């Protein structure tokens, strides 16, 4: 409480080196770990009173340097203040659900958890990395269309025939099972198709699309949504549809879907930019 | 078929594939080659490269074999591939580590561990194909879950997810950490991975 209102004497606390370090913090947990280590303390002993003071000094410093203090840092400051106040109270007074619990316990657990991942990510960072330390042999994408399977812009009719065959497999008939609302979106199926193709190394048989997840029943909405998703992916050129050709040039054999490099790239970007996918919030203003 | 000829074909297939090719796939293509013999042939090829002082190595990554340039020439390769140099920030590394060990994992769970917003970092990892969307968690809100990709294994030179360095148990962190203990696990772990790959992973 004392610290929160006190203006920070920048020079006396950490000096200019502090400012350089600031940008290196990956968040409030990281900053806390740093403070604990700097005090040569053990995480499990988390000296809240001491750390909270220093933590708030850092936040003040950030503000002084006109850095944006992200909301997470403020939340942590509040958490520390709360823990500090809890520790001042005599134990087991008015405690129903948290009886005897160290108010620091949850924060300590999070710090330990974060520390593990921080450590292991530092190890991973040291690993020999493809694209940085070693480079794989690269082959032009165009060389990879399999022998004997030239591209055929499969007509919509051919595709529809294949689709009808799959649809015929969908169990129908009245009274077979209770109708339940099933949430299938074309968008979701687009994701699933691109995933399935990715898992198969870039190419997939049409029929496999409908056989790939055995635990999911083939339902009419699912099959229809999958087919629409396929058409949409072809439209945005994320996929191409192929069929083998006989010697005389007549189409033959299973219809195959193949990911195009540019298309897949474009599609990846779409997924990446879609707020529905990542739930990227615009919190900048906070 | 002569062993020397098989070796030639295996080498050619690995060179031409670019992406990691599994032993099973190689055995399927090369006449009279058993999948269990592939490792031996690949080791021979690697040894040849080494004896001849070539700039190439064959690595076992992401469940297959892949031809790569030697780490000693990395600085020059980086000049050639300026645009695709793989730089990962600390935030990216931490996020990918969390996803790798906890997959499938939701964005909120990643955020809980790191204590900061994870959306933008996850997005960039998906962009770079290191992380993929692996579906939904069947809980209210049906949040998307993230998992690592084959490309992730490839980039970090891992054969499979089990080859990730062991995550220290929380209990191990409980005694006061001394400075020496913090250095050793890192060296041990990287050495282990180096051994699992057929080629040395020393950088110098």
Contacts of A43 in chain B (CB under 8 A): 173
Cβ-proximal residues to B21 (8 Å cutoff; 6+ apart), any chain: B13, B14, B64, B65, B66
pLDDT of residue A159: 75
Cβ-proximal residues to B170 (8 Å cutoff; 6+ apart), any chain: A109, A112, A113, A116
Smallest Cβ–Cβ distance between A133 and the set B71, B91, B173 belongs to B71
pTM value is 0.58
For the purposes of burial, counting CB atoms within 10 Å of the CB of A239, is it exposed (0-12), middle (13-18) or buried (19 or more)? buried
Whether B79 and chain A come into contact, CB under 8 Å, resolves to no
Query: What number is the average pLDDT over the span B193-200?
Result: 38
DSSP B21: B
Say if CB B45 and CB B11 are below 8 A apart. Answer: yes
Do the Cβ atoms of A278 and B170 come within 8 Å? no
> Torsions phi, psi of B21, nearest 5?
-110, 130
Please give the structure tokens belonging to residue A152: 């055929």
Reported as a single tens digit per residue, the pLDDT across A8-64 is 334 434 444 444 444 557 889 999 998 898 888 888 888 888 889 989 888 888 777
Residues A163, A262: Cα–Cα separation, whole Å: 26
Smallest Cβ–Cβ distance between A137 and the set B18, B96, B164 belongs to B18
Say if CB A104 and CB A83 are below 8 A apart. Answer: yes
Reported as a single tens digit per residue, the pLDDT across B21-77 is 999 999 999 998 988 899 999 999 999 999 999 999 999 999 999 999 999 998 888
Say if CB A221 and CB A182 are below 8 A apart. Answer: yes
DSSP B72: G
Please give the structure tokens belonging to residue A236: 């945005």
Smallest Cβ–Cβ distance between A26 and the set B96, B114, B119 belongs to B114
- Give me chain A's average pLDDT, please: 72
pLDDT band for A208, please (50, 70, 90 cuts): confident
| Cβ-based neighbour number of residue A205 at 10 Å | 14
Interface of A with B in 204-263 (CB under 8 A): none
Do the Cβ atoms of B186 and A128 come within 8 Å? no
| Cβ-based neighbour number of residue A243 at 10 Å | 22
Contacts of B174 in chain A (CB under 8 A): 44, 112
Residues A81, A76: Cα–Cα separation, whole Å: 9
Interface test with A, best of B58, B97, B164 (most A CBs within 10 A): B97
pLDDT of residue B184: 33
Say if CB A112 and CB A119 are below 8 A apart. Answer: no
| Cβ-based neighbour number of residue B118 at 10 Å | 28
Sign of the CA dihedral A241, A247, A251, A253?
A: negative
DSSP string of A144-157?
GSPTT--B----HH
User: Which span out of A222-231, B73-82, B125-134 was modeled with the highest average pLDDT?
Assistant: B125-134
Residues B140, B53: Cα–Cα separation, whole Å: 59
Smallest Cβ–Cβ distance between B133 and the set A120, A123, A271 belongs to A271
> Torsions phi, psi of B199, nearest 5?
-115, 155
Helix residue ranges, H only, A89-133: 105-126
Least confident of A134-138, A174-178, A239-243: A174-178
Sign of the CA dihedral A21, A26, A28, A31?
A: negative
pLDDT of residue A269: 67
Query: What number is the average pLDDT over the span A94-109?
Result: 73
Say if CB B67 and CB B15 are below 8 A apart. Answer: yes
Residues A170, A219: Cα–Cα separation, whole Å: 6
| Cβ-based neighbour number of residue B12 at 10 Å | 11
Do the Cβ atoms of A134 and B57 come within 8 Å? yes
Interface of A with B in 112-171 (CB under 8 A): 112-139, 143
Please give the structure tokens belonging to residue A151: 């591209």
Cα–Cα distances in Å, from B143 out to A239, B105, B112? 26, 9, 15
- A261 or B153, higher pLDDT: B153
Is it the case that residue B191 has pLDDT exceeding 90?
Answer: no
Q: What distance in Å separates residue B18's CA from the closest CA in chain A? A: 5
Do the Cβ atoms of B68 and A135 come within 8 Å? yes
Least confident of A124-138, A259-273, B172-186: B172-186
DSSP A42: -
Give the burial string for A80-96 (b: 16+ CB within 10 Å, else e): bbebbebeeeeeeeeee
Tokens 């994870």, residue located: B118
Is it the case that residue A4 has pLDDT exceeding 60?
Answer: no
Do the Cβ atoms of A117 and B116 come within 8 Å? no
To the nearest 10 degrees (0 to 180), the angle between helices B90-102 and B119-127 is 80
CA B42 to chain centre: 18
């Amino acid at each position: 409480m004392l610290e929160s209102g006190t203006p920070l004497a920048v020079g006396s606390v950490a000096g200019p080196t502090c400012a350089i370090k600031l940008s290196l913090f990956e968040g409030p947990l990281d900053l806390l770990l740093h403070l604990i280590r700097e005090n040569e303390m053990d995480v499990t002993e988390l000296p809240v009173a001491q750390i909270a003071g220093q933590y708030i000094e850092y936040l003040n410093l950030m503000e002084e340097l006109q850095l944006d203090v992200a909301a997470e840092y403020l939340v942590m400051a509040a958490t520390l203040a709360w823990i500090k106040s809890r520790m001042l109270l005599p134990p087991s007074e008015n405690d129903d659900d948290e009886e005897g619990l160290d108010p620091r316990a949850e924060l300590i657990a999070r710090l330990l958890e974060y520390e593990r991942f921080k450590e292991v990510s530092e190890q991973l960072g040291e690993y020999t990395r493809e694209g940085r330390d070693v480079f794989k042999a690269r082959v032009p994408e165009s060389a990879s269309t399999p022998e004997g399977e030239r591209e055929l812009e499969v007509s919509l009719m051919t595709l529809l025939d294949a689709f009808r065959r799959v649809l015929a497999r969908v169990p129908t008939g009245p009274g077979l099972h209770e109708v339940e609302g099933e949430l299938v979106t074309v968008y979701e199926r687009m994701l699933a198709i691109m995933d399935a193709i990715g898992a198969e190394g870039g190419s997939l048989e049409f029929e496999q699309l409908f056989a790939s997840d055995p635990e999911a029943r083939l339902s009419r909405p699912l099959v229809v949504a999958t087919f629409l998703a396929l058409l949409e992916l072809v439209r945005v050129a994320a996929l191409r549809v192929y069929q083998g050709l006989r010697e005389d040039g007549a189409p033959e054999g299973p219809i195959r879907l193949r990911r195009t490099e540019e298309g897949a790239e474009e599609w990846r970007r779409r997924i990446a930019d879609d707020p529905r996918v990542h739930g990227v919030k615009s919190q900048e203003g906070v | 078929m002569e062993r020397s000829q098989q070796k030639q074909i295996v080498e050619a297939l690995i060179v031409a594939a670019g992406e990691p090719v599994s032993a099973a796939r190689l055995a399927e293509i090369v006449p009279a080659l058993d999948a269990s013999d592939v490792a031996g042939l690949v080791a021979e090829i690697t040894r040849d490269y080494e004896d001849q002082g070539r700039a190439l190595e064959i690595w076992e990554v992401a469940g297959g074999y892949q031809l790569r340039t030697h780490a000693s020439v990395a600085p020059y390769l980086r000049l050639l591939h300026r645009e695709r140099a793989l730089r990962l920030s600390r935030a990216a590394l931490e996020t990918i580590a969390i996803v790798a060990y906890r997959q499938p994992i939701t964005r909120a769970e990643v955020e809980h561990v790191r204590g900061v917003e994870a959306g933008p970092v996850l997005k960039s990892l998906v962009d770079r194909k290191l992380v993929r969307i692996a579906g939904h968690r069947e809980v209210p809100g049906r949040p998307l879950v993230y998992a690592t990709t084959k490309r992730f294994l490839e980039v970090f030179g891992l054969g499979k997810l089990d080859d990730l360095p062991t995550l220290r148990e929380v209990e191990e962190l409980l005694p006061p950490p001394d400075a020496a203990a913090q250095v050793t696990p890192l060296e041990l772990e990287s050495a282990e991975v180096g051994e699992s790959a057929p080629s040395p992973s020393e950088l110098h």
